[in-house]
Amino acid sequence: MESFCRRTVFHRHTAALLCAVATCTLCLPVRAQAPAEGLCVQYRCAETGLESNQIKAHFQIANRTAAAVPLKELTIRYWYDDSSGKPQSFWCDYAALGKENVSAEFVALKKPLGIANCYVELGFSEGAGSVAAGGNSGEIQSRVSRQDWGNYDQLSAYSFEPSCKEWTEHPKVTLYRLGQLVWGQEPGGRQARFLLYDESRGILHYVNQRDPAKDWELNLGHALRDFQLIGNHQFIIAQGFGYSVWDLQTRKLVQDIHVPDLGGGISARRRADGATVIGANARDGVLVVELDKQNAVARRATFPGVKTLRMLRLASDGNVLLAEESGLTEVAFDAQAPGGGKVVRRIPLPHDRNAFMALKKEDGSYVLSGGFAKALFEFAPDGKLRREFALKDAPAAAGPLFFAGFQVLKNGNIVVCNWTGHGAQDSAKGWQLVEFAADSSLVWHWHEPNRAGTALNIVVLDGLDENAFLDDSSGVLQAVDK
């Protein structure tokens, strides 16, 4: 959570702020990012000197959503280090949206975040208008200096990247909508909001690193693997008998849904149309059941030879993804096929066993958590391995054992649970959450073994409304209209 020493707000011209003093000499590497799927900042470095009396950063905001976004709801932060204690000034030299509609604010941090001890935040007036769906804001040329024209050590600036001489989606310049981070990576590691299922202690944890006073725990009193936020302050969890509905605000049970002849229900997902699909381990393979809006059985399919289902996920093409002992089995309901369903594709794990969860992206590629392979795997649409995400160069304290539930973020990063055993204290054996960038490099980890047991499933809420219906059938968890 951020802590501020002083703020100064101004428009276009000059204002001052005495920043807190901190000294940093480390410059972190820039990590490759997948193209943004929502809002993002494109950055161009207009002053590439490592020692300079001005910071010249040019921005434009790209909107890849389906709706226009009012600029007055957005702010941009450029993070850097200013150890001089001198007043600073800001200019907007040019803005396609009108420089009179650009304001800025210097914020100094009482406690540095990584190598940054301050940032300049750009905001927009109502006169700036909106960023059209599929469009961008146009160029915004910003400039910062000390009022005594002393030099900045740009090498120590978190957001500075001299190689960005053309427009680049640069995650070290962060973007916020109504105060919530929607693009980029803040310095000092992720300050996340997330729901974590702690399998070894049977607790669902809500963690808000920005405002820990809002944290809570829900003791479910039984083991589960799968949960999903379905809107109206509710979430579902898979049960052996079917699934349960819980209220997110009261944290009370709303109802239990029992499915006839289900056996061992293990995973459940709600579709936007109100249907629910449940996966169960049966005596002769894996059973997949679809319930209609009234929770009556609409379709059933049995897949003999598929062994030990861990998690079920839905794809946008209507197929069902079964993460099972040997890898990924993609199936579809088919009333004409034996058992009521057919196998569409099998993708075996490259090594080890007990795949845990799979997602299918809109481009037809797949992401699979490999269980005891201690890795995530990305496969091309034809099933060929593209990339492996593993903690190969991490310290011994990382303790990778079993990669379980995961989430693909809007910026292409992946957050995965590292399960380290059934015992209540087994979470001390290794990091509970790990975040990889799209190029498989390590971005962030979370490890609080005194607080939580072993992590099995995760929903990262940054940029999401926990009271909305959240669906990952596109490969990326996002709010979907029901």
Average pLDDT, integer, range 164-192: 85
Residue 1 has pLDDT above 60, yes or no: no
For residue 151, the 8-state DSSP code is P
Q: Which residues contact 35 (CB under 8 A, 6 or more apart)?
A: 64, 169, 412
* pLDDT tens track for 235-265: 999 999 999 999 999 999 999 999 999 988 9
Average pLDDT, integer, range 78-94: 93
pLDDT at residue 12, as a whole number: 34
pLDDT at residue 122, as a whole number: 98
pLDDT at residue 184, as a whole number: 85
Report percent pLDDT > 70 for the chain: 91
pLDDT tier, 170 (very low <50, low <70, confident <90, very high otherwise): confident
* pLDDT tens track for 377-407: 999 999 999 999 999 878 788 899 999 999 9
pLDDT at residue 222, as a whole number: 65
Range from 19-28, 93-102, 215-224, 408-417 carrying the lowest mean pLDDT: 19-28
Residue 189 has pLDDT above 70, yes or no: no
Cα(360)–Cα(330) distance, integer angstroms: 10
CATH of domain 4-183: 2.60.40.710
Cα(19)–Cα(82) distance, integer angstroms: 7
Strand bridging mode 140-146 / 54-63? antiparallel
Strand bridging mode 385-390 / 470-471? unpaired
Residue 224 has pLDDT above 90, yes or no: no
| Of 307, 299, 381, 312, the residue nearest 341 (C-alpha) | 299
Residue 215 has pLDDT above 80, yes or no: yes
- 450 residue type, one letter: N
Average pLDDT, integer, range 331-354: 96
Task: Report the mean per-residue pLDDT for the chain.
Answer: 88
Cα(372)–Cα(36) distance, integer angstroms: 31
Q: Give the largest CA-CA distance in the chain.
A: 80
pLDDT at residue 482, as a whole number: 75
Average pLDDT, integer, range 360-365: 96
Return the sign of the alpha-carbon dihedral for residues 472, 307, 227, 261: positive
CA angle 147, 152, 155 (to 5 degrees): 160
Average pLDDT, integer, range 169-193: 84
Cα(115)–Cα(151) distance, integer angstroms: 17
| Of 147, 141, 161, 19, the residue nearest 91 (C-alpha) | 141
Structure tokens at 222: 């039984």
- 99 residue type, one letter: K
* pLDDT tens track for 414-464: 999 999 999 999 999 999 999 998 888 887 888 888 889 999 999 999 888
> Long-range contacts of range 129-133, CB-CB < 8 Å, 24 or more positions apart?
129/70, 129/71, 129/97, 130/68, 130/69, 130/70, 130/71, 131/39, 131/61, 131/62, 131/63, 131/68, 131/69, 131/71, 131/74, 132/63, 132/68, 133/63, 133/65, 133/66, 133/67, 133/68
CA atoms within a 13 Å half-sphere pointing along the CA-CB vector of 199: 22
Cα(168)–Cα(175) distance, integer angstroms: 14
CB 76 within 8 A of CB 182: no
Beta strands in 209-317 (DSSP E): 216-219, 227-231, 234-239, 242-247, 253-258, 264-270, 276-282, 285-291, 297-303, 311-314
pLDDT tier, 110 (very low <50, low <70, confident <90, very high otherwise): confident
pLDDT at residue 393, as a whole number: 78
CA separation, residue 56 to residues 95, 103, 169 (Å): 14, 16, 17
* pLDDT tens track for 19-78: 322 222 222 333 333 344 589 999 999 999 989 999 999 999 999 888 999 999 999 999
| Of 130, 124, 35, 116, the residue nearest 83 (C-alpha) | 116
pLDDT tier, 191 (very low <50, low <70, confident <90, very high otherwise): low
Residue 10 has pLDDT above 50, yes or no: no
* pLDDT tens track for 135-162: 999 999 999 999 999 999 887 788 998 8
pLDDT at residue 8, as a whole number: 44
Q: Write b or e for each residue in 231-242: b if 16 or more Cβ atoms lie within 10 A of its Cβ, otherwise e.
A: beebbbbbbbbb
Report percent pLDDT > 90 for the chain: 70
Average pLDDT, integer, range 102-119: 87
pLDDT at residue 185, as a whole number: 81
Q: Residue ranges of the domains in the chain?
A: 4-183, 193-479
Task: State the CATH class of domain 193-479.
Answer: mainly beta
Average pLDDT, integer, range 89-94: 97
